[in-house]
Structure 1
Amino acid sequence: MYLHGTSRVNEHGHLEIGGVDTTELTSKFGTPLYVFDEQLMRETMRAYKSAWDATGLRYEVAYASKAFCTLAMCRIVAEEGLALDVVSGGELHTALKANFPSERIHFHGNNKTPDEIEQALNAGIGAFVVDNFHELALLGALAVEKGVVADILLRLSPGVEVHTHEYISTGQEDSKFGFDLQSGAAQQAIQLSLQTKGVRLVGLHSHIGSQIFETEGFKHAIDIVGNLFAQAVKEWGAKDLSVLNVGGGFGIRYTEGDTPLQVQQYIEAIAEGVKATFDSLGLAHPEVVIEPGRSIVGNAGTTLYTVGSSKNIPGVRKYVSVNGGMSDNPRPALYQAVYEAMLANRATEEPTEVVSIAGKACESGDMLIWDAKLPEVQAGDILAVSCTGAYNYSMASNYNRIARPAVVFVQNGVADVVVKRESFDDLVSLDVVPARLMDGVLSQS
């Protein structure tokens, strides 16, 4: 397993993260356990800002909170001076409860409800990324009711496809997200937004996909959206249009087959594309916004499990089961995502077998890793699965009434709980038994 950030094998032969022995973490906090390398997250955020500083362009780095959103995470994002993307009332509420500056919050989503829009308007967020005509009309009407003007960016589908999993390609024409250019919807949306009371068009947005390992897709999208930007300014009088949001999707290394670029390489290419396109159009350089999520938290997260039962099928495979699975990491089942693992308590031992790591949910598809090279695994071993910081906690569920894990941040030898482990009482805390059913139970007892 590749060791990211502060991860290392210590003198005891154990995996250590943030200066804390993972065997100590499991003894204190139990398993499954999400462990985040706080230093690595902060360093990545700073790398994005530093790379942009070198370009001379105006910019904003907005953390895509859908990747991992908790009160503590929002505090770190605020401390590092980033903006924050939210896609639901729940994420917005989390940000506000963490005292995140509301003017640095952007609200995304393809079906914002009236309640969510009102929540965001009342909070005075920085901008709405408007996804469709229904939202444009609804937002305008609600803003007028409140006597405010909401800054908006229009999300466009520029028709750019990247080589990624089909479920997470979002920039092509056939997508549930955004106004597509090919049908003329994007052009119509720009003109309509300039006539809609209660909103002010300040920017255009595109997002071409996720886990992107090259830069040509970004440059192509910038050229397409840039030309529409020029048309809006020169022909339709979009005098406040000054922001170009190129989305996120920057790839990370999950396994040795992944070859992401360095942060600086992505930013330099995007900056070059923006300068070249806008210079050729005779326009001032816009403020450029990017939305990294996975690339900030993905490599920083590690999930620790305790090994339980094993099942060896001669000539077929050996299954090794852990005390978690699709309830804390549904990505292998959803996307066929691939991960690496190691035995955190026996990190110096050489692999002697290839095993398949199974989860404990009552589903045949609950498999975390199909072919993991490990020392001979024993019950009680601690399995560490790397690069689980993005979309694992966010997508965790209580399937089979399995309680969700705790989350800890580690740095400089200190571990802090940022999400408590759910208890069985937590699982039933929102359940309600109607009186008629309770009476029946009592009469039988």
Structure 2
Amino acid sequence: MTLLDIFPSLRASAVPRLDPTVWPTDTHYDGDGRVTLGGVALHDIADQYGTPVRVLDETEVRRRCRVYRELFPDTEIVYAGTALMLRAVARWVTEEGLAVQVGSAGELEVALAAGIDPHRIILQGNGTPFDELRAAVTAGIGRIVVSSLTEITLLASLATRRQQVLLRVAPGIEVPGGSRFGFPLGGDSCAAAVARIIAQPKLILSGLHCHLGAQIRDPDLYAEAIRRMIGVMARIHTEHAVLLTHLDIGGGHAVAARSGGADIDLRELADILDDALDAGCARHHFPRPVLTMEPGRAIVARAGVTLYRVLAVTEVGNGGTCVIVDGDSAGHGVGTALVVNRHPAGPQLAASVVGRHGAAGELIADEVRIPADLRAGEVLAVPCTGAYHPCGAGYRAGGSPPVVAVAHGRTDLLLRRETTADLLTRESAQ
């Protein structure tokens, strides 16, 4: 019997708080020391749905949509569906007033199946093929982003009605790991693309689009992009007598995966973008366009927690400790982890967390404080994993894990686990 058993009132002070900069807002310890999300114990979810499993907090997704709407009231907020495109997620974000950006015919089908108004959908790809452009035109989606002369030609041949088009440009701003796509802003190829779109009677050039890169922390990069793009929009107006009304600066807002990491400061971003729009429009005597942003990871990453079951705890060659779990990295980078089935009382030690398919070459978490008596069968949670690829999908025929939504004390299976039978159905019989 421990002091916590004798004096239960000590339990609240003995159990550390979860870092709100990494974990969903509604993540807490319950009276038994277990970690809960959305009012549901994560250990119970692991037992019910198996592991690995991705848990998505609906309330957190909706809350983050509302934060963007509140801080950017005059900006069109578009959810970048490539971060996680499921019908439920598409419904949540549109119910909160966001439009949806899709990057493929598959994502478009999911959005339409979710009942999203096609006019609130933007298609944006890199070299979008004929079939996907045809699907977008047939569906009657609101805007299509083009990034090559070929796409313009294909789209002009497909359009049966007036179709709004955004031209993807590269503003020439150096960002580590930045995007390589888009017409160089103000260059000859950009001018040729503008002229080609304007020459097509069924295409409406409504604005410019850019995507600077991912995990951007410096708001000034977006401000500089705005100033440069407004200059070119003003030139287009002068040369072609065409007024562009939309300026889309993409997404890429930084989200920290572990304590101590830095998110982009959205309040600072809101102020800087507003100033950049005022300055750019005043300098070029250009009417203020509708500003569009496309956050994806920033909407869903923090809402997701991935659960793994411990397979083994072992010592590694450098004298450290390694925890092997039953899944693999989801490509989110190295994060943190926490035992969810009991409070972390007692001695702890530092460890790394790796998937059982070590050849994948990526740590799941590193420098994690774990109970010194951690045992096989216990459950670890890795936060900030709501975006992008499911852990271990397709690797060594492992299949994709399920996605389970939580809200108000209930769970809802959004995506079932991919089985070996599912994988075999894709093989040709020999």
TM-score of the superposed pair, with normalisation by structure 2: 0.91
1:201 aligns with 2:205: yes
Taking only the aligned residue pairs, the percentage that are identical comes to 31
User: 2:167 aligns to what?
Assistant: 154
8 Å CA contact 1:212, 1:251 repeated in 2: yes
1:90 aligns with 2:90: no
User: 2:80 aligns to what?
Assistant: 64
Structure 2: how far apart are the matches of 1:23 and 1:215?
39
User: 1:130 aligns to what?
Assistant: 146
Match of 2:388 among 391, 394, 399: 391
Structure 1: how far apart are the matches of 2:392 and 2:96?
27
> How far has the Cα of 1:366 moved from its partner?
4.2
Segment drifting more, 80-89 vs 313-322: 313-322
> How far has the Cα of 1:186 moved from its partner?
1.8
User: 1:357 aligns to what?
Assistant: 353
Determine helix, strand or coil for the equivalent of 1:391: coil
Segment drifting more, 396-405 vs 21-30: 396-405
Determine helix, strand or coil for the equivalent of 2:240: coil
1:115 aligns with 2:128: no
User: 1:330 aligns to what?
Assistant: 331
> How far has the Cα of 1:183 moved from its partner?
4.1
Give 5+ residue unaligned stretches, structure 1. Answer: 332-336, 435-445
Q: Which residue identity does 2:223 align to in structure 1?
A: K
Segment drifting more, 182-191 vs 62-71: 182-191
Structure 1: how far apart are the matches of 2:189 and 2:42?
52
Match of 2:93 among 77, 84, 100: 77
1:17 aligns with 2:37: yes
1:261 aligns with 2:274: no
User: 1:334 aligns to what?
Assistant: none
Match of 1:39 among 48, 59, 64: 59
> How far has the Cα of 1:182 moved from its partner?
6.2
User: 1:5 aligns to what?
Assistant: 25
8 Å CA contact 1:161, 1:209 repeated in 2: no
User: 1:440 aligns to what?
Assistant: none
8 Å CA contact 2:58, 2:407 repeated in 1: yes
> How far has the Cα of 1:23 moved from its partner?
1.1
> How far has the Cα of 1:396 moved from its partner?
5.4
Segment drifting more, 411-420 vs 358-367: 358-367
CA gap 1:368/1:117 in 2 versus in 1, 3 angstroms: same
CA gap 1:280/1:366 in 2 versus in 1, 3 angstroms: closer
User: 1:423 aligns to what?
Assistant: 419
1:298 aligns with 2:294: no
CA gap 1:362/1:47 in 2 versus in 1, 3 angstroms: closer
Q: Which residue identity does 1:228 align to in structure 2?
A: V
1:214 aligns with 2:230: no
8 Å CA contact 1:51, 1:268 repeated in 2: no
Match of 2:344 among 339, 345, 348: 348
8 Å CA contact 2:208, 2:247 repeated in 1: yes
Structure 2: how far apart are the matches of 1:120 and 1:283?
31
Residue-by-residue CA offset, 1:269-292 (whole Å, 9 max, x unaligned): 212211221122212111111000
1:286 aligns with 2:289: yes
Structure 1: how far apart are the matches of 2:386 and 2:121?
22
1:405 aligns with 2:401: yes
8 Å CA contact 2:335, 2:366 repeated in 1: no
**How many corresponding residue pairs?**
409
Segment drifting more, 371-380 vs 256-265: 256-265
User: 1:243 aligns to what?
Assistant: 246
Give 5+ residue unaligned stretches, structure 2. Answer: 1-17
Structure 2: how far apart are the matches of 1:183 and 1:281?
18
Determine helix, strand or coil for the equivalent of 1:409: strand
